[in-house]
């Protein structure tokens, strides 16, 4: 097994699949396009859902990328060996092209070849779908793996819980998957398998074979376009390849660790509590850097993505206090990440000043909140009954003022008080349960984007952006996020002030005039350079994308977009703006609907 750096791993993966006829495509934004079901891009397949459902991708049927992702369901778990809120997912895609016969040998080659990862085949274990009433046992995948060189005793058949990918409880493309594991130690028992949590097996890659369409609960039909969807986490793979205990011990974090050690005088591995604080600061600052530095960059706020950003910045500041991290240090840590990643993600370098400014502003705000929280603690400690601060109050200090339980416990001890840990854990568990049932995890394969009314509102969003640029006389207005359902659209855009009622009326009238003219919506595929020359609106900083889809509405609107759209503007009905408000610093939000024409 070869030692490898993060830059080498990205390059190896992309070049391997490029050699297999794949086009390298850039990472999509962390902010999903027109998906109301999730706050962030949570997986490599997320931006490609329309193409997995049958839309034609401008780069063809074989794609590969390294996708920026954020998952926030386990923020409180960050600080252990493996949890990260931001991560990079390497993936390759077959859109109705190749299937198991090609993908499994390629996976084996990339994993075992000395030219690539060089993992001995006897250190690999494979799991495949064991079959049930919905789909047969995946004997084909098992035979292909064994033919490649995997020992038969290292191939395991597991149930749908472990080896099936699909939108649980919803409709959409799905199918059996085949997961690849590193064998790290002896099995804990003869029955032990990759489903066991004893640590004998560590997942490194997953090949999903989308062969079915889930029509409803317990109802499956063959999928018209069979796809392959794979995912290999860059951080985890680096950890495995370099025989590190934790993802935080890889080169991705070494520069940021050096900054924290210099600022605090402490060592990363001085003791368990210090290591945990380091990891939380490292992860949350990296995630915040990518969120703010994204091409649809967000800023801290009390709603949606901005709320998550605020939460992780403040958690980083809280744990910074535990290791005496000086005020204003997050900017210096962020600079280490900008320098580390900007060659792979140029948007970080482009937004360097914005990243550091937003981190500084939010850190300063939280310092004031901490002081208020300390005053609140004085009040609650004075009324503690029987020398115990109740668990609900302890959680309130955590949730409202950002006090970790350890901090509250320490402050209580200074006053000869104790805390109700059991009550706190109960309140915390209820909060965590609600969080995990929230926006993340509800991703339903983007099917809502293909409903007729949603498609119309998507088209109206393009007209809205064009009208805003014309009325506000600002070509630099950029979309900062959208949320489109069958009932309404919500559009966030960069602009430094409130839009007046008169301006909103002009925008509304302008969009309705384009609708009245019933102009065709024309889709063309072309090289990105041509799209730029012809004045199509989009982001051109990527070094990879060669061909793009463009949509034009006469001379009124020209945008690069993946679709889908209405065929004529006359289909849309009457456009009505319902509300305009601030979303976050420098970002405005418009909510609008389409009503039936009279």
Instruction: Tell me: do 304 and 229 sit in the same domain.
Output: no
Instruction: Tell me: do 425 and 461 sit in the same domain.
Output: no
Instruction: Tell me: do 23 and 114 sit in the same domain.
Output: yes
Whether 377 is covered by a domain: the verdict is no
Contact 180, 107 (CB under 8 A): yes
Task: Determine the length of the chain.
Answer: 598
Over residues 310-332, the pLDDT tens digits come to 889 988 998 898 899 999 999 99
Whichever domain contains 126, its CATH number is: 3.30.930.10
pLDDT of residue 477: 80
Contact 65, 27 (CB under 8 A): yes
* Distance from the first to the final alpha carbon of the chain: 69
Question: 23 or 440, which is more confident?
Answer: 23
Over residues 35-93, the pLDDT tens digits come to 666 789 988 888 888 888 788 999 999 999 999 999 987 787 888 888 899 999 999 99
pLDDT of residue 441: 38
User: Helix 234-241 to helix 251-264 angle, to the nearest 10 degrees?
Assistant: 90
pLDDT at 411 over 90: no
Over residues 176-224, the pLDDT tens digits come to 999 999 998 999 999 999 999 888 999 999 999 999 888 777 778 888 8
pLDDT of residue 167: 61
pLDDT of residue 513: 94
**Whole-number Cα distances in Å, 197 to 122, 194, 200, 203, 264:** 20, 8, 8, 11, 36
Tell me the two tokens of residue 341: 């990643």
Instruction: Tell me: do 363 and 459 sit in the same domain.
Output: no
Report the alpha-carbon distance of residue 256 to residue 47 in Å, rounded: 30
Q: Picking from 91-100, 244-253, 400-409, 454-463, which range would have the lowest pLDDT averaged per residue?
A: 400-409
Most confident region among 77-81, 159-163, 561-565 by mean pLDDT: 159-163
Which residues are CB-neighbours of 156 under 8 A, at least 6 positions away? 125, 126, 127, 128, 193, 194, 195
DSSP symbols for 425-480: HHHHHHHHHHHHTSSTT---TTGGGGSHHHHHHHHHHHHHHHHHHHHTT-TT--EE
Whether 378 is covered by a domain: the verdict is no
pLDDT at 333 over 90: yes
Whether 1 is covered by a domain: the verdict is no
Instruction: Tell me: do 149 and 271 sit in the same domain.
Output: no
Over residues 532-554, the pLDDT tens digits come to 888 887 754 443 357 778 889 99
Indicate the pTM of the whole model: 0.75
Domain holding 388, by residue range, is 383-445
DSSP 8-state code for residue 55: P
Rg (CA), the chain: 26
Q: How many domains does the chain have?
A: 4
pLDDT of residue 442: 37
Instruction: Tell me: do 562 and 467 sit in the same domain.
Output: yes
Question: Quick one: which of 182, 22, 69, 165 has its CA closest to 13?
Answer: 22
Over residues 475-526, the pLDDT tens digits come to 668 788 778 888 889 898 889 899 999 999 999 999 999 999 999 998 888 8
Percent of the chain with pLDDT over 90: 59
DSSP 8-state code for residue 340: H
- Indicate the residue among 445, 469, 489 that finishes a domain: 445
Model confidence band, residue 381 (pLDDT cutoffs 50, 70, 90): very high
Report the alpha-carbon distance of residue 488 to residue 13 in Å, rounded: 40
Query: Across all residues in the chain, what is the average pLDDT?
Result: 88
Instruction: Tell me: do 200 and 259 sit in the same domain.
Output: no
pLDDT of residue 544: 39
Instruction: Tell me: do 440 and 500 sit in the same domain.
Output: no
Instruction: Tell me: do 440 and 555 sit in the same domain.
Output: no
Question: 336 or 170, which is more confident?
Answer: 336
Which residues are CB-neighbours of 578 under 8 A, at least 6 positions away? 488, 591, 592, 593
Instruction: Tell me: do 123 and 180 sit in the same domain.
Output: yes
């Amino acid at each position: 097994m070869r030692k490898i750096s993060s830059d080498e791993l990205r390059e190896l993966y992309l070049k391997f699949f490029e050699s297999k006829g794949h086009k390298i495509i850039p990472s999509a934004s962390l902010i999903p396009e027109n998906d109301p079901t999730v706050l962030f891009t949570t997986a490599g397949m997320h931006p490609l859902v329309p193409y997995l459902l049958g839309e034609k991708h401008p780069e063809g049927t074989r794609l590969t990328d390294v996708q920026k992702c954020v998952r926030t369901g386990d923020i409180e778990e960050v600080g252990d060996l493996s949890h990260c809120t931001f991560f990079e997912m390497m993936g390759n895609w077959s859109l109705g092209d190749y299937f198991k016969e090609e993908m499994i040998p390629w996976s084996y080659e990339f994993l075992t070849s000395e030219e690539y990862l060089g993992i001995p085949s006897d250190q690999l274990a494979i799991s495949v779908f064991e079959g049930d009433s919905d789909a047969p046992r995946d004997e084909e995948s098992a035979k292909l793996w064994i033919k490649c060189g995997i020992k038969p005793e290292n191939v395991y058949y597991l149930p749908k819980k472990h080896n099936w990918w699909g939108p649980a409880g919803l409709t959409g493309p799905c199918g059996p998957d085949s997961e690849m594991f590193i064998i790290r130690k002896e099995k804990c028992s003869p029955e032990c398998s990759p489903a066991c949590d004893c640590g004998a097996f560590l997942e490194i890659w997953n090949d999903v074979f989308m062969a079915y369409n889930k029509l409803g609960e317990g109802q499956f039909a063959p999928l018209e376009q069979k796809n392959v969807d794979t995912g290999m986490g860059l951080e985890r793979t680096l950890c495995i390849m370099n025989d590190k205990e934790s993802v935080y011990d890889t080169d991705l974090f070494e520069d940021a660790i050096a900054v924290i050690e210099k600022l605090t005088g402490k060592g990363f591995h001085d003791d368990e509590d210090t290591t945990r604080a380091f990891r939380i600061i490292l992860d949350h600052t990296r995630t915040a850097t990518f969120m703010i530095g994204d091409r649809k960059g967000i800023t801290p706020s009390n709603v949606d993505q901005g709320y998550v950003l605020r939460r992780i910045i403040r958690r980083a500041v809280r744990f910074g206090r535990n290791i005496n991290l000086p005020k204003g240090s997050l900017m210096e840590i962020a600079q280490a990440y900008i320098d580390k990643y900007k060659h792979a993600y140029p948007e970080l370098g482009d937004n360097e000043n914005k990243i550091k400014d937003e981190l500084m502003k939010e850190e300063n705000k939280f310092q004031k909140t901490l002081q208020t929280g300390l005053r609140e603690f004085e009040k609650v400690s004075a009324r503690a009954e029987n020398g115990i601060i109740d668990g609900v109050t302890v959680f309130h200090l955590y949730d409202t003022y950002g006090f970790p339980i350890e901090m509250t416990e320490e402050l209580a001890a200074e006053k000869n008080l104790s805390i109700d840990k059991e009550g706190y854990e109960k309140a915390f568990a209820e909060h965590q349960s609600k969080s995990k049932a929230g926006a993340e995890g509800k991703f339903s394969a983007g099917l809502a984007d293909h409903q007729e009314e949603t498609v119309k509102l998507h088209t109206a969003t393009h007209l809205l952006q064009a009208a805003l640029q014309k009325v506000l006389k600002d070509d630099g207005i950029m979309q900062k996020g959208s949320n489109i359902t069958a009932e309404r659209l919500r559009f966030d855009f960069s602009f430094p002030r409130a839009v007046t009622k008169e301006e909103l009326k002009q925008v509304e009238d302008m969009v309705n005039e384009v609708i009245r003219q019933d102009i065709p919506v024309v889709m063309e595929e072309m090289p990105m350079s041509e799209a730029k020359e012809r004045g199509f609106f989009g982001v051109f900083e990527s070094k990879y994308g060669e061909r793009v889809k463009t949509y034009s509405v006469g001379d009124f609107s020209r945008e690069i977009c993946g679709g889908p759209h209405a065929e004529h503007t006359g289909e849309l009905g009457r456009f009505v703006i319902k509300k305009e408000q601030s979303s976050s610093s420098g970002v405005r939000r418009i909510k609008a609907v389409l009503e039936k024409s009279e």
